[in-house]
Amino acid sequence: MKKWFVAMMAALACLIVGCNVEDTAILCGREWNVNLDVIADTASEFEMNDPLIVQFRYGTNFDFAMLKTTFYEGTLANKGPEIWNHEVAVNEKQGVYTLQGKSRHGGLMTARELCRKKEPGPVVIEVRGDGKVLMTKQILLIKNR
C-alpha cells in the first residue's frame, strides 16, 4: 500500500510539472503587456505600419549560450534570401527572449522597420540556439489600409 501511494504521488507530481511547461513558440504581436512580459495581441498578418514585437518562448530555461533570430524573404516552403539577423547571448535563467525596437518616429518599431522590408509580402522568422534551428514562423506583411 505504501509503495502504491508513493508511486501515485510521483505520477501526480510529474503531471503537475508537465502541465506548467509551455511549448516552444515564436509569438508575433502588436501590443506588449509589460507586467506579464508577454505579447498581448498575437497575429500572423500585419499592416506595414503596425507595431511589431517578436517573442521566442522556449518552454523551459535556455540550454544554449547564443540565440540568433534571422528574418528571411519568402515563405516556409520557399525561404528566400536573408534580410537581417540579430544574435544575443542568453543564459540558463532565461526561457523567453523578446525582440522589439524603438521607432525613429516614437513608439515601437513598425513591421516595416523591424522586418526591414519596403514592400508587403511574406517573411520567415527563424530562431537558432547555438547553431541549431529551434523554431520558424511565417508572417505576412500587407499594405496599410
pLDDT for position 15? 44
Q: C-alpha cell of 61?
A: 530555461
Interior angle at CA 123, CA 57 and CA 40, nearest 5:
40
Q: Say how many domains are in the chain.
A: 1
Q: What is the CATH number of the domain that holds 79?
A: 2.60.40.1930
pLDDT digits (tens, 9 = 90+) for 14-34: 444 444 456 899 999 999 888
Q: Is residue 18 part of a domain?
A: no
Q: Is residue 15 part of a domain?
A: no
Lowest model confidence (mean pLDDT) among 5-9, 36-40, 105-109: 5-9
**pTM for this predicted structure:** 0.82
User: What residue numbers bound the domain in which 43 lies?
Assistant: 23-142
